[in-house]
Amino acid sequence: MPTYSFTLEYDGTDFAGWQIQPSVRTAMGAFSDALRALTSESPALTAAGRTDSGAHAHGQVVGCTLERDWAPDELRNALNATLPADLAVRNVATRNDGFDARRDAVDRTYRYLIVCRDGRSPVMRRNAWTVRGPLDVDAMRRAATHLVGRHDFAAFGSPPRVGGGTIRQVTSVSVERADLGSEHGDPVLETIAITVSADAFLRGMMRSFTGALVKIGQGRVTPEWLASLVDTAATRDPSLSMAPARGLHQWSVRYAPARQDQELAA
C-alpha cells in the first residue's frame, strides 16, 4: 500500500490545535474528515508536531498509508476541493514504507510574529502579537545566542509525553525587524520575527522563548537573566510568561533525503 506525506497550511484561529479532541474543532479532525470523505478510508496519521490552540502552520507534515494508489497532484487537488477555507494541502509526496512524520523529522522551524505599536493592530490581530514598542532588537539578539546549542530547556516548557526528556538541540535563533510602508516618516507596520530551528520542541517552548525575548527587548531584564534559565531548572520557571498562541507559526519541517535518493547520489 502506498505511503504519502502531506504538507499542510492552516489558519489556527478557529482550531483548538492540531490533535483531535472530543467536542472541539481541530486541524487534524478537519483533515481526517476530508481524507475519509474523499477516499472512504480512515488511516492512522502521524504528524511532525502538535500546534497549540490558535497557532498557525505553514509546513505541517502529515504521513499515512492508503489502500489506493493516487497521483500526488490528483490527491492534493481533490483534498483541497473538500477541505474548509482555513486549511489547505500545499504538497503531496510519496514516501518509503514506514515513514513517520514525527520520528523521521531531522529538525523543525517555528516563527513568531510581533507587531510593535502603541495601539491595536486590527489587520494583524489573528496572526501576530501586538506589543507596545519599540523593542531593543540588539538586546534580544544578544540574549538569543544563549539558547543555541544542546541544552536542558525544562525552564521553558514540558515534554509532550509524561516522563519525556527536556534536552533539545537548538540549531539557530534569529531576531529580525522589518518596517513595512511609511507614513509621515513612521512605519505603517513595524514587525519583528523570531525564528527558531531545533531537533524538537517542548510544549510551550517557542512561546516561552518569545515571552522572554520580548521582556528583554522592553528593558525589564538583561540578556544574562535568560542565560541563567538554561540548564538550571527541573520544571518550567514561573517567572517566564508565554506569548499568546496567535503569533506562533509552525514554519517548516526538514527530513533526510529518501533512501533511494541517497543511493542515486552515491
Q: What is the CATH number of the domain that holds 91?
A: 3.30.70.580
| Domains contained in the chain, number | 2
The H-or-E segment that residue 152 falls in is strand 149-152
Copy the grid coordinates of residue 189.
507596520
> What does the H/E/C string look like for 191-227?
EEEEEEEECCCCECHHHHHHHHHHHHHCCCCCHHHHH
Residue 256's pLDDT is what?
87
Are 128 and 114 in contact by the 8 Å Cβ rule? The answer is yes
Q: Is residue 173 part of a domain?
A: yes
Out of 52, 100, 199, 261, the active site residue is: 52
Q: Is residue 94 part of a domain?
A: yes
Q: Is residue 175 part of a domain?
A: yes
Q: What is the mean pLDDT of residues 235-249?
A: 93
Do 231 and 246 reside in the same domain of the chain? yes
Domain enclosing residue 41, as ranges: 3-103
Do 46 and 63 reside in the same domain of the chain? yes
Q: Which of 78, 103, 128 is the last residue of a domain?
A: 103
Are 147 and 209 in contact by the 8 Å Cβ rule? The answer is yes
Do 85 and 131 reside in the same domain of the chain? no
Do 118 and 198 reside in the same domain of the chain? yes
Q: Which of 62, 86, 103 is the last residue of a domain?
A: 103
Do 62 and 180 reside in the same domain of the chain? no
Q: What is the pLDDT of residues 3-43, one digit of tens each?
A: 999 999 999 999 999 999 999 999 999 999 999 999 999 99
Do 177 and 79 reside in the same domain of the chain? no
Do 14 and 92 reside in the same domain of the chain? yes
Angle between helices 137-144 and 205-217 (to 10 degrees): 140
Are 158 and 203 in contact by the 8 Å Cβ rule? The answer is yes
Q: Is residue 261 part of a domain?
A: no
52 noted as active-site residue:
yes
Q: What is the spatial distance between Cα 262 and Cα 255, in angstroms, rounded to a whole number?
A: 13
Do 117 and 191 reside in the same domain of the chain? yes
**Percent of the chain beyond pLDDT 90?**
81
Do 80 and 212 reside in the same domain of the chain? no
Q: Which residue has the higher pLDDT, 238 or 143?
A: 143
Cβ neighbours of residue 102 closer than 8 Å, sequence gap 6 or more: 46, 47, 48, 49
Confidence of residue 67 (pLDDT cuts 50, 70, 90): very high
Sequence letter at residue 248:
L
Terminal-residue alpha carbon distance, the chain:
28
Q: Is residue 262 part of a domain?
A: no
